[in-house]
Structure 1
């Protein structure tokens, strides 16, 4: 690095100053430029090893993204330097596209200084050896074992995971229930620099206001009636590692304010104390609430959205991953044949057609449970179409009241089915509409064998 020359192109003078101060003792030369129009002049007048290039400028170039335009211009030049793109917030799709256009890597604002230096050092090292810069998925990765997909959209998600996992950027995972958001979160942790540290998952949508602070931030003995001993919260448990907050879209505005304060200050205070405790976590959040609904100020604070959404990953529903349905079906069949000590089974053609043609409102989770049920009930080594039964909870047609079913149990069961269907399987919202707690609703689901 001591012999490297770096050109930094960004229209934000604060960014230029910060990079110049950071790198001036690390490399031979740092040249900064606010106007990307002067890029070619710099590159023709002297040789640079790396260009740090912003993805968005106040420019008249109408390409959809100025950074991509200037990246292509650089790559056209003879002896073009390596390019590291600088991006912000949720522009991960553009950043991934830049990699396909020839960028060596990208960094997300605000970056960690050590990470930026490490990225530059790695690219310079690989450039000297003539190697590429794309990381490979390890053989023991959750990707390919639990998180599966051969469709183009899933391959893009795997590529994003590889690129963003080593950063410390906060990530928001969006997708319908049952799409595998928790598996994506695990994969990000596994490929991160914190992989050897704790991975802690919390279903925050299920926490009441009284439990929220105690569960996340911890408490001191005697802080409330049942606080019989000091207890660390989930933030402390995840210190040094990754904290995954599932169902983040279902927490109250009061809870959001508490969470925002912790994320801003990077410290927690246990209930019953005034002593702040520093925390160092990588935050991943997930929700089935569409981002445009989440951005409604009456429902979710926009300042918290920006805090948790440095990068977002959208997982498509299974009905948009048709190429993956049979792959996943075979995967689940092998799992449940082993679990239930069944001989190896096969699907006949009609069963495969039925699996491929269904719309899966319950996504991968519904497919998984359907295959499990089929394996359990199988009476031969070939699964037929009649053996594939999809969940009545997810069915687009909810059974209507029969005239004779006017007893309270029948009415309650049908009502629960309709409300769960209305909320697309979201138990938290269904319970709220029914006036029940999640636990009480789960008891009724079990009681009626829904």
Structure 2
């Protein structure tokens, strides 16, 4: 379908977003309707069908699920199964947005977006509108189906552990820094388990408030509390027969820990508003970025719960400890994003490889992923060069990383020079001034370290 013939519905509780989208699309589409209240979705879709729906992932006041966008996506698909839906999300909500693709969304856009990119996304979704459900263009591989990649010794140990423990029902605790791929390890365990044909349900329990914790995990009956307008199936029940993955478990309160321990001991849940116990059969995998020694504190986490969730533990190493795996993973993401953005597959030149290998990656695999995505989008030639690789400014180097990585004086000087030059976008005068040396001295060091 052509953009000019399309009718578009936009649901977002931010009036600035609605205004921006309306101004952008009004001269380009047949009809655009905007509404800031997702509660109006049933009546809007009952009145007419839209060719495309732009739907926000988060609303300030709506169904209190913590994942409002997914809730309303489900409602849209109930009312209009063939609807083409593009989810609107902030940078921090990308994981949920990727999950929305599995639940029927056509695509997602990240705020703030570039108008040209939004228009291309809309046009691609409209092109797919009316085709067979679930069909995706071959040129758009699914980014969330990232395999666990690695040939390093530390990863060989993890693969061996996965092979040994996956066929059992042992509870697993996955430890590691943010962005190391703990969720991918959990999925790999599930895929190799005897429960592989049953559900794999992931819950970020660290993001659940006290009021949402029981409703999300155990479910509720209609009328159990003010906003309980219908019965809700909790995540334990949804995972019955399969695997339940509780991410960021180190961040839940002592009160939440007590409720979780009771369910794990009794292997049954009670929905809010009900006295009837429901037996559950799940394989439990948990993950946290909190070190085990810190977690095992009576003031922070119950030891009896640690023993319950930690039959076997897997420590996922930070990316900086994985050697040549960095290049393997980078090449994987180059293939993914070259295909997604329909660009020729570029090679990594030697200096780009050196830059990747020398960087500390405080954001781990997740940071490498977004670094490569940006490089593929912005690169002009047939190679990705060192200058194409711009690391995220939102990541900071912890003192712990500095202590681990910068014990060699020459490495410390070289890495400092590279960071300062990158900070000033290649301006040698400004970099030399911040480093407290002359331009000539800086040039000598650039030559010395072959930067």
Check if 1:279 corresponds to 2:280: yes
Deviation at 1:382, TM superposition (A): 1.1
CA contact (8 A) 2:361 2:367 kept: yes
- C-alpha separation in 2, matches of 1:147 and 1:295: 28
Q: Is the 8 A contact 2:180 2:366 kept in 1?
A: yes
Residue 353 (structure 1) aligned with residue 354 (structure 2): yes
Indicate yes or no: 2:145 matched with 1:148. Answer: no
Instruction: State the partner residue of 2:319.
Output: 318
Q: Deviations over 1:326-353 (max 9, x none)?
A: 1111111010000100001011111111
Say which SS state the counterpart of residue 314 (structure 2) adopts. strand
CA distances 1:112-165 after superposition (whole Å, capped 9, x unpaired): xxxxxxxxxxxxxxxxxxxxxxxxxxxxxx9x9611001011011011101100
- Matching of residue 210 in structure 1 with residue 202 in structure 2: no
Corresponding position of 1:192: 193
Counterpart secondary structure, 1:286: strand
Give distance in 2, aligned partners of 1:379 and 1:389. 15
SS of the aligned residue for 1:300 comes to coil
Q: Match of 1:309?
A: 310
Q: Are residues 1:254 and 2:255 paired? A: yes
Gaps of 5+ in 2: 1-142, 400-451
TM-score of the aligned structures, taking structure 1 as reference length: 0.56
Q: Is the 8 A contact 2:219 2:232 kept in 1?
A: yes
SS in 1 for 2:201: strand
Q: Partner of 1:156: helix, strand, or coil?
A: helix
- Structure 2 match to 1:432: none
Offset of 1:394 from its aligned partner? Answer: 1.0
Contact 2:217-2:234 at 8 Å conserved across structures:
yes
- Structure 1 Cα separation of the partners of residues 192 and 308 of structure 2: 22
Deviation at 1:231, TM superposition (A): 1.1
Q: How many angstroms does 1:239 deviate by?
A: 0.3
User: What residue is the counterpart of 1:367 in the other structure?
Assistant: 368
Structure 1 residue 383: Cα displacement: 1.0
Rounded to whole Å, the distance in 2 between the matches of 1:201 and 1:347 is 35
| Map of 2:181 onto structure 1 | 180
Unaligned runs of 5+ in 1: 1-141, 399-450
Give the number of aligned pairs.
256
Residue 396 (structure 2) aligns with: 395
Distance 2:198 2:217 in 1: 18
Alpha-carbon spacing, 1:175–1:397, altered in 2? closer, same or farther (3 Å): closer
The separation in 1 between residues aligned to 2:183 and 2:248, in whole angstroms, is 10
1:54-83: CA deviation from partner (whole Å, max 9, x where unpaired) = xxxxxxxxxxxxxxxxxxxxxxxxxxxxxx
- In the TM superposition, residue 396 of structure 1 has moved relative to its aligned partner by 2.5
Secondary structure at the residue paired with 2:287?
strand
Q: Please state how far the C-alpha of 1:397 moved relative to its aligned partner.
A: 8.9
Higher-Rg structure is 1
Three-state SS of the structure 1 residue aligned to 2:324 is helix
The whole-number CA distance in structure 2 between the counterparts of 1:213 and 1:192 is 28
Q: Distance in 2 between matches of 1:388 and 1:162?
A: 35
TM-score using structure 2 length:
0.56
Specify the alignment match of 1:335 in structure 2. 336
1:375-411, Cα deviation, whole Å (9 max, x unpaired): 011111111111100001113399xxxxxxxxxxxxx
Contact 2:221 2:230 in 1 (8 A): yes
* Aligned equivalent of 2:167: 166
Distance 1:210 1:237 in 2: 20
> C-alpha distance in 2, partners of 1:327/1:232?
41
Aligned-residue CA RMSD (Å) = 1.6
Deviations 1:16-40 (A, max 9, x none): xxxxxxxxxxxxxxxxxxxxxxxxx
